[in-house]
Structure 1
Amino acid sequence: MIHHHTIYYGFFYFAILAFWSGQWFVHFLAIVYGKYKLHNRNYKNAVPRETPLPGVSILKPLMGEDKNLKENLETFFTMSYPTYELLFCIEDKDDLALPYVKELTQKYPSVDFKVFIGGSNVGVNPKVNNMYPGYLAAKYDLVLISDSGIKMREDTLMDMVDNMTQKVGLVHQIPFCCDREGFAAAFEKIFFGTFHSRIYLSADLLGINCHTGMSSLFRKPEMEKFGGLKRFGCYLAEDFFIAKAFSDNGWKLRVSSNPALQNSGICDIKNFQARLQRWTKLRIAMVPTTIILEPISECFVIGALAAWAVNVLFNWDYVVFYLIHILFWFLSDWILLQIVQNGSLPFNKFEFVIGWLLRELSGPYLFISALWNPSIKWRTRLYKLDWGGVAYELSSSEKMKQLLVSS
């Protein structure tokens, strides 16, 4: 006679294998869709969807400087697109980014631009507060939010507008990185070209909101129907909720063909991992199922669980199974990174192995750290999140308590 607990254990092990198979399906979707979608446009022979092409208002929220800021900003003055305006949003009149803006606007006098200093106060999100005056002044129906660290290819704006078809309300770029020197730069490229691209591409194909707002084009008239940009000032992850608003109102979201090329002059592993922790804290608050699903989706964790399951169910050698699982996961990530890069990588295979191992081994640790201390540090400010993603800034006394806890 078969005991009930034996049946339950059987279902448990088969559930593990089903989830493991689902992770491989995500790999497959990302590789196939990435090959089809990314770097797959030919604008020289493309017929314009509209004549003339629609104008675009580009919001550039700026704060502080880094060694690549001027180079990044200049690419927005040299784009191959007929009609656009640049709206530079700066909180402080003494901000170090302002001289670069003045220099470039004098160098390219034919480019339409405006500068907004002082920001606003429409919520707790400092980025939304900084951008809001520029958003109100935007004169075109299409608005692009582009972070200061983004370096623009000449054809990227055309690429994004071309993807803004009749039923699409928001076009976003998959985050990636410029080629830069050093292991920290290689590590960032490996993260965005493997783990992040895998989730991002498969989610876009399946119609799941995985939007990041570092480079995002949307329809302003529709945004106004949702309450305008100020409606999203109560969230730190305003990008996720903007995309959700478009999706909930029947609009499609679409990833563009060109990845977003992040080119920040600040590049070190400690700062980057702090950024990853902040994103993890936001995901946990917005999508609570992340607490369970994300850590067991990691290569070494789900591989160990699947090896345990096949050993119990089929008496397979769990060590051999585990090693084969890791090898194929590694090769799949290498293939996907090559697709997103679309050219030779700026590092060798040994550096990829080290960077890949660091990413895979540090992922669970960063997740646990995010759970242990859920407060979010953003520049000089400290925030807490309620379930659902609504944020509030901590007072000075609360900040001190959080610092004592984290230390």
Structure 2
Amino acid sequence: MNQLNIDTIYVLALAFFTLWSALWIVHILAILHGKFRLHRKKTEICTEDMYPGVSILKPLTGIDPNLAENLESFFTLAYPRYEILFCVENDKDPALKIVQELMEKYPNIVTKVFKGASKVGANPKINNIYKAFQDSVYDLILVSDSGIKMKNDTLLDMVAYMTDKTGLVHQMPYTSDKEGFPAVLEKIYFGTVQSRIYLAADFLRRNCHTGMSTLLRKSVLEGKGGLKTFGCYLAEDFFICRYFKEKGWRTTISSQPAMQNSGVCDISYFQARMTRWAQLRVAMIPLVIIFEPLSECMVIGVFAAWASSVLFQWNYTTFYLTHILTWFLCDWILITTVQNGALPFNKFKFVVGWLVRECSGPYIFFNALITPDIQWRNRVFKLSWGGVIKDFATV
């Protein structure tokens, strides 16, 4: 073997070992930031008005078994000034019946219903909420997906982080406690893989925004032309957050995670959702194609074990097994930090769910790479590089 080949091998080994070390820094940052930030109540709201009004935008499309429970949690918020603006694409949406029943049950809550989507872009969510956004009374806008369930003090918690220099406060995605193995798998993903990146990115003040529950300043968006400016993107949340950062506004997570409480919970649904998110990441940030697979525990462990054997002559098998065990233990610490209490399943189910998630992660990502079209609800989208919607069709 000539010197050039030897040098190349050492450079590759050093690169893999450096990446492996960086991922451990991310892991540790996530745990420490989670323990410092999550589930910490603020005693004061640092804004000009002690309780600024909030307009809550709720886009609805159809119903699921938990919709009534989720929507009702917004009628019982312990917050003095807010309005709920429900948005449906047409007046035949079955969700309207649930909304009407809740409006009659809570007549003191200011509510409005907007029927018929606007045509301001290709993004169906923005089209759905655009009229409500324009008609909203308050400068603080909470955009909240139909699958989110709130605690009674969640809005107060989010507003508490909306300081004079902060323009956008979002909740880290997590899940409510549910029965069944698909729920275990879902909770493990959001409590480990997703929260690891989310918490580390928030600590480093990087864009990690997932727009399922977002409090933002309407006036800032209006400076860009309003919501319609982002109607050309399918992942509008990422680009909205980027715009706020470009304008010098801080973005941050609140102390309470977003409790996803969809009534639909099965393996195929979860995998389809993860595939769709991976497709979006690839379209928006092409370098994800290289680095995301290498961020998986099982994958980076293989390369790091090889690198350690080249650089330090460490035993490959011992290194790899130690890597997996340590990663597993750190994920356990992380998910219990996010949960802030006992998990709704035992340690054995966590072991099985963790192994399934870690082994299926690379498969889901590569499946996303070979599947060009993105299916969301009853629509199929084609994206160009940069995340811009190139074409879509209704199925």
Partner of 1:77: 75
Partner of 1:311: 309
Partner of 1:295: 293
Partner of 1:141: 139
Q: Does the 8 A contact of 1:93 with 1:118 survive in 2? A: yes
Identity in percent: 58
CA distance in 2, matches of 1:394, 1:88: 25
- Of 30, 53, 56, the match for 1:55: 53
| Alignment of 1:41 onto 2:71 | no
SS at match of 1:383: strand
Q: Does the 8 A contact of 1:236 with 1:390 survive in 2? A: yes
CA displacement at 1:186 relative to structure 2: 1.2
CA distance in 2, matches of 1:30, 1:315: 31
Question: Normalising by the residue count of structure 2, what TM-score does the alignment of the two structures yield?
Answer: 0.98
Q: Does the 8 A contact of 2:293 with 2:299 survive in 1? A: yes
CA distance in 2, matches of 1:239, 1:96: 27
Q: Does the 8 A contact of 2:381 with 2:391 survive in 1? A: yes
| Alignment of 1:16 onto 2:16 | yes
CA distance in 1, matches of 2:131, 2:234: 18
CA distance in 2, matches of 1:333, 1:25: 13
- Of 213, 217, 234, the match for 2:215: 217
> CA offsets, 1:44-88, max 9 Å, x none?
xx4664444110000000011111100000000000111000000
CA displacement at 1:395 relative to structure 2: 5.2
Q: Does the 8 A contact of 1:129 with 1:233 survive in 2? A: yes
Aligned positions of 1:6-405 closer than 5 A: 6-43=6-43, 46=44, 49-394=47-392
SS at match of 1:253: strand
CA distance in 1, matches of 2:236, 2:7: 45
SS at match of 2:86: strand
RMSD: 1.4
CA distance in 2, matches of 1:395, 1:88: 25
CA distance in 1, matches of 2:60, 2:214: 16
CA displacement at 1:394 relative to structure 2: 3.7
Instruction: Give the aligned residue type for 1:92.
Output: N
CA displacement at 1:8 relative to structure 2: 2.8
CA displacement at 1:258 relative to structure 2: 0.4
Q: Structure 1 338/133 Cα, relative in aligned 2: closer, same or farther at 3 Å?
A: same
CA distance in 2, matches of 1:22, 1:128: 37
Instruction: Give the aligned residue type for 1:178.
Output: S
CA displacement at 1:378 relative to structure 2: 1.1
Q: Does the 8 A contact of 1:381 with 1:393 survive in 2? A: no
CA distance in 2, matches of 1:313, 1:74: 58
CA distance in 1, matches of 2:113, 2:204: 39
CA distance in 2, matches of 1:137, 1:131: 10
How many pairs are equivalent?
395
Instruction: Give the aligned residue type for 2:185.
Output: F
CA displacement at 1:269 relative to structure 2: 1.1
Q: Does the 8 A contact of 2:73 with 2:149 survive in 1? A: yes
CA distance in 2, matches of 1:154, 1:361: 38
CA displacement at 1:316 relative to structure 2: 1.2
- Choose 49-58 or 238-247, whichever is displaced more: 49-58
Q: Does the 8 A contact of 1:86 with 1:113 survive in 2? A: yes
CA distance in 2, matches of 1:192, 1:100: 29
